[in-house]
Structure 1
Amino acid sequence: MKLYCLLLLITVVDVGATVAQEKVLPQGDRGIAARYPGDTGIESDEGVVFREHFNDALSVVKMRWESVHQEDLLSIDADVPNSRDGNRSLLVTHLGGESDGAHLYRRLGKGYDKLHYRFYVKFDSACAPIHHFFHVGGYAPPTAWPQGGAGVRPSGTERFTTGVEPFGNNWQWDYYSYWRDMRGSPPRGQC
């Protein structure tokens, strides 16, 4: 069973804005990506905080991440979408019931009020449903590896996390978020 994660792109749309100053986000073909067909050169845009294209050897890719877990489940692959520059992707092999999965993790530093993430992903048709996929968040103090906290409502000062993951037999996208004012999930209201 395989999970393909092809591109991770993180862009800062509005740094330092308060709620009263909030800007309207560009829509359609007017955003950062529209200026870089196939994402060629997008990492040079001042609004891009981090871009991972996986075009290097895994040993080089690992140097851009603070925590690399289960490296034996990661490899560089030639399967990429036609619409992007580059000729490599990251292949993450999912071994259901045999491991807790692999991850790449890094801190971005301070000073971002708003971040937008974009990534491409392809799942092998034989892949069984998975739990826990792409997650982002913030920890105070910042940590060099991802933290737990499942089932525990954050106090509002130590962390927040949100994730997107495929859910159910139809593989619809579901969100999995922890923040101070969260309510529990149905039917029992647990966190």
Structure 2
Amino acid sequence: MNELEKCLAGKYYDCHDEIFLQYKNNARNLLAQYNALPYDQTEEKRVILQKLCGSIGDNVSIASPFICDYGCNIHIGSNVSVNMNCTFVDCNKIIIGNNVLIASNVQLYTATHPVDIKDRFMPGWYPESKKYFCQTYALPITIGNGCWIGGGVIVLPGVTVGGGSVIGAGSVVTKNIPANCVAVGNPARVIRRINKEFVQ
């Protein structure tokens, strides 16, 4: 397995491998261009998004500033609105369905580290080495069709938000949320069911 395969499989990987440095450099160059464009230059923005993202549907709006890690792991459906100041840490895949609203300051994090400190450090690492010390892995995030992700929401690695669901502003989503629910809080919990007639 190469480092990219390890990453996408959710295994520990070397985030400083050449392939990821290329992804980061490409994303940062494209983001610099994108975030510098005026609000109404929609055609120019579309061209950059097509180069940045792994795939992107029709009628997609991403407000500036927008930040992502690699870009190429972001897959967005059609009729999607992403408001300003959102951060997508797309070390693994971020899949966003159709007809989705993502409010300002939303953060989608696929990358993470071991909680136990003995596992967090690289095997054989010691402080005097001055080398990178932390083990990293990444898990995909999926936002289903028809979702609305409220302002300031944080979605953690490996989470799926089921189609039609609404995540209340300021929530931290640590586990999967079923379809057609309102979920709020830290950690986010389902408070009621919605969309009885909704068909994905």
Q: Which has the higher contact order (CA 8 A, sep 6+)?
A: 1
Which has a greater percent of strand? Answer: 1
TM-score, structure 1 as length reference:
0.27
TM-score, structure 2 as length reference:
0.26
Which has a greater percent of helix? Answer: 2
